[in-house]
Each structure stands twice: as C-alpha cells, then as structure tokens.
Structure 1
C-alpha cells in the first residue's frame, strides 16, 4: 500500500523511512516550513543510528497545501497541540477509502481525527520506539535495527483485512506491531508509560537509562502507575497490562531497549517548545476528576513541568524596575 506521513518530525520520519526502505511508497506532509525547506535543499533527510553512520535518505516532502497524493493509509505523528491545524490544512487530501494510523503520544487526538475519518478506518497505536530530531532534516534512530515495538487497535475493535495488511507491512518495516482488540486500554498503556518516563526524565534532564538507576526510580514510577490504574479502573478502562507488568515494561525499555534515549517531552523542553504534559499526566488527572478521584501526583508533575516551561522562557529583565 501507499503511505503518507502527516507530521515529519522524529517519529514520523522513522516510520516513513522504515516503510520506504521496506519497499512501500511513502510521502511526507509537514507543517513546519523549516523542515520542508531543509529537506528539499539537501535532497533528503540525514539519518543516523545512535549518533553513528549518518547518511542521506531521499524522501518526498510537501506542505499540506501542495500535496496532491492519494495514499491508502495516513500515519499521523504531529504534536497534540499542532494536530487540529495540521488536519484542517490537509483535509483536502483526505478520501473516504483511506485509513489512518496514529501512534501519537498522549490522548485527545482520536476525537480530532474522527472529524475527518470514519471510526472504522481509524487505528490507534502506541510506539515504544526512541527517535531524536537533531534539527531540520536530521534524525537519529535510537536503538539497534529492529529495536522497539508498537501496539495497534482499531477504534471499532474489529480488525478487517486492511488492518491486517497494515500490520503485515509494518512488520516488514521492522516496526514490530502487535494488534489488539482493546482500543482504549492499548492507548492508555502508553499514556501511563509516558506519564512516568517522559515527565520525570524531562524534569531532571536525564536519559531513560539514568532514570532507571536512580534510588527512587521504582518508588516514583509505581506511585504514578498506581494512580493511573486507579483512574482507569474507575473509568471502566481495562488496560493491556497489570500494574506489575506496566512497571516491568518501563524497567525493561529504560534498561535494555533505549537507555540512551531522551524522551520526546525532554526534546521539546530543551528546544523551547511547549510540552505535551497536558495530554499525558494532565489527561490522567482530568479523567480521574470525572470519576471523583484526584490523581494528585500526576497533577503535581503537570504543574511542575509548566513551571519549568515558564522558568525556561522567563526574561529576568522583566523584574527590573
């Protein structure tokens, strides 16, 4: 099948390039002008793996307004805050026959995607695949070839032939997908993972491998996991994992799979961009309130991240009389 990636950032580039290398046609649609201009200027994307073997990979990239392709499947990988604008600008290229796969971080994207695609064509996903965008036109795949994994689930929880074909092609691209029939449970499992790893690594500016060696890593992680599970149980969401399994995934990925990885929230913070904390820890807290439960640790961390964003951008000159 033919794919189009909406959001040619770190993860969008990794998915698209791996699919392209597996023999499938891929287009990239991007709303960041600098990214488009740089990739066109250098006739491709510079790709490295763990900072080594940097090489140029030719890709086709377009702005939403200039894209005239008709893919079978869209892969949506924008930031949560940019999604609504990106979908609106690209809407002229959406067709009834197309499917969409969205392994984005956080929650809130499915409702926006549903405005343009029928639920039976929407596949939610999660990705435990570390990737860093060093700058415009320069991406670093973290981990050995074939490292990382993902889960996918149809919004209707009824996989069809096209879904199975997507899974097969993602497998050929070494994305290591697992298909489930638990839509919300699949998405929330990654939200919980990110609520620990993304937020704590960002607050202390550390890699995942450094976090997991900390003397309080497990205590902090389990506290956040337990609150998130309490919320999901009250919301009637059956998660893919037990509390123990969720912690073991965090431990394994941080220790064995991506110890050198700085999570995406850290990358946003360090580059002066807004973080997605409201769509991760904030989502867990707000969901809990609907069921008369306060996930206070998640709310505390959300506020700490926002304070850190404010401090990062604060101009001391504003204090001068």
Structure 2
C-alpha cells in the first residue's frame, strides 16, 4: 500500500521513514511548516540520527497540501492537537481526501479522532498509540531515540469496528517497518491508557524542564505517579472506560520507561522549551473533563493543568 504522512514532525518522520526504509512501501510527506518543507526540498531529504549518532540524509518526497496530487491508500496523521482542525480543513480544500482512503493516527492527547471523523468514514479510521521517543532537532533534522527494534505501539479500529483486510495490511506494514504494533481489543481504553501515562511523565518533565532519566532520580516519583493514576483510573471507571493494565503496572511502566529513555525530553517539554503552547488541556485536562462529566473531581490533574499554563505564562518574564 501507499502511505501519505500529514505532519512531517518528529513522529511523522519516524513512521514514514521506517515504513519507507524497512517495509519498502511508497511514502509521501505533507507539511505546512514552511521552514521544514523548504529545508527538505533544498537538501534533498531529511537528516535522520539515532540517539544523536550516525546522521544520514534520507531522500523523501515533501509537499505543501496545495501542490500534492497523489492518492495514498492510507493517511498517517501526526499534528499538534491545537493545529489539527486547521490542518484538516486546509488538506480537505486542497483535495487530499478521498472516500476510499483509510487514516491512522497515534497523536498525543485525546480529541483528534472526533475531528478526523468529520473527513473520513468511521470504519476507515484506525486508532493508535505510540511509546516511541523522537526529537525534531530542527527543520529537516530528526533524531530517533532508543535502539533499533525498541519501538512499541498499539492500534485498534475506531469505535470497535471489526478488523478488515485493509486494517490487517496496515498492521503488517507497521510490523515490517519495525514499529512494534500490537492489536488492541478496544480503542478508547487503549488511547486513554497512553493519555494517563503522558499525564505523568510528559507533564512532570515539562514543569521541571528535565529529562525522563532525571525525573526518576527523585524517590517520590512513584508516589506522584500513583496519585495521578489513581485519579485517572477513578475517573475512567466512572465513565466505563477500560484501561490497559492496573494502577500499579502503570506506575511500574513510568519507572521502567524513565530508565530506558533516560536522555529523552518528552514532546510536551519540547514544545514548551521552544515557546509553543503545550497539549496539557488534551492530556491532564481531558482526564479532568472525564472526571467532572461523571461527578468526580480530579483535583491533582486540574491543579497540574494550571501549573503548566502558569509556567507557559511565566516564560515572558525570563531573560
């Protein structure tokens, strides 16, 4: 199958390049960030490193939406939550979307599938989550964190549609690409499980501007994670959202991930450090929203959302 990547950022590059290099499928990249598009065009591709080493230029096809005339079988979407609506509208006006196409996304946070649903048939949407650390060093320059074959992800049909041949083919392509796919039984709990993980690691690292390995040096992190997970599980249980694993297994996942990716700055911090707004409203804020919708107040998550927004606001006073 042929793939098109919408959003040539850190994760968009990771998926597209691994599909191109390892699964030997055709991949086109669509982006609207002018410095990125022009850099890739001028240098003839994107520079790719792994753990800051072995940088090499990989040729890719990069387009603005308005200049693209291809017809991928599957779109892969990786945009920031705040940018997605505008991106989808622009892509639609440019004539990128067709009724026969499928779409996959493993974006951080929640709320994106409802937006994607406006442009694609529900049974053509494949949901995903990714435990894959990637850094965009700058326009046309991406760094894959972690050793080869360490990628891990989950995927599931949207709204519990049954697996079909196309979804199975996407899974097989991801498997050949060494993205480490695992098929989940249910999409909402799968996605929320990743959200509650990010609500601990991404948010804490961002507030204190530290790497994951530095975070875990504080002996109180397991207790902090447990407090946030308890609220997340309580809220999701009231909403009848079945999360993967247990409260304790998710605490252990935080510990193990911080050790395994000790040099990694999570994506929320990457946005924060570059002066961009974070996706905290779509992560901790989304959990708090689920809680309040089910007569449960996630006091810690709501406080954390305020803390992150306060940190964003205070950047203007730093010299």
In the TM superposition, residue 148 of structure 1 has moved relative to its aligned partner by 2.4
Match of residue 5 from structure 2? 5
Match of residue 36 from structure 2? 35
Could you tell me which of 190, 196, 202 is aligned with 1:198? 202
The root-mean-square deviation of aligned C-alpha atoms, in Å, is 1.1
Pair 1:299 & 2:287 matched = no
* TM-score where L is the length of structure 2: 0.97
Cα offsets for 1:178-198 (capped at 9, x unmatched): 011211000000000100000
User: Per the alignment, in what secondary structure is the counterpart of residue 104 of structure 1?
Assistant: coil
Pair 1:241 & 2:238 matched = no
> C-alpha separation between the residues in 2 aligned to 1:214 and 1:175?
31
Cα offsets for 1:174-230 (capped at 9, x unmatched): 100001121100000000010000000011111111112211110111110110000
User: Per the alignment, in what secondary structure is the counterpart of residue 216 of structure 2?
Assistant: helix
Pair 1:102 & 2:102 matched = no
Could you tell me which of 208, 214, 221 is aligned with 1:217? 221
Match of residue 166 from structure 1? 170
In the TM superposition, residue 314 of structure 1 has moved relative to its aligned partner by 4.1
> C-alpha separation between the residues in 1 aligned to 2:50 and 2:284?
30
In the TM superposition, residue 156 of structure 1 has moved relative to its aligned partner by 3.3
* TM-score where L is the length of structure 1: 0.96
User: Per the alignment, in what secondary structure is the counterpart of residue 93 of structure 1?
Assistant: coil
In the TM superposition, residue 152 of structure 1 has moved relative to its aligned partner by 0.4
The within-5 A match list for 1:90-239 is 90-91=91-92, 92-157=95-160, 158-239=162-243
Unaligned runs of 5+ in 2: none
Match of residue 46 from structure 1? 47
Question: 1:148, 1:176 within 8 Å by CA — same for their partners in 2?
Answer: yes
Unaligned runs of 5+ in 1: 317-321
> C-alpha separation between the residues in 1 aligned to 2:178 and 2:216?
26
Question: 1:272, 1:313 within 8 Å by CA — same for their partners in 2?
Answer: no
The within-5 A match list for 1:213-292 is 213-256=217-260, 258-292=261-295
> C-alpha separation between the residues in 2 aligned to 1:242 and 1:65?
46
Aligned residues: 315
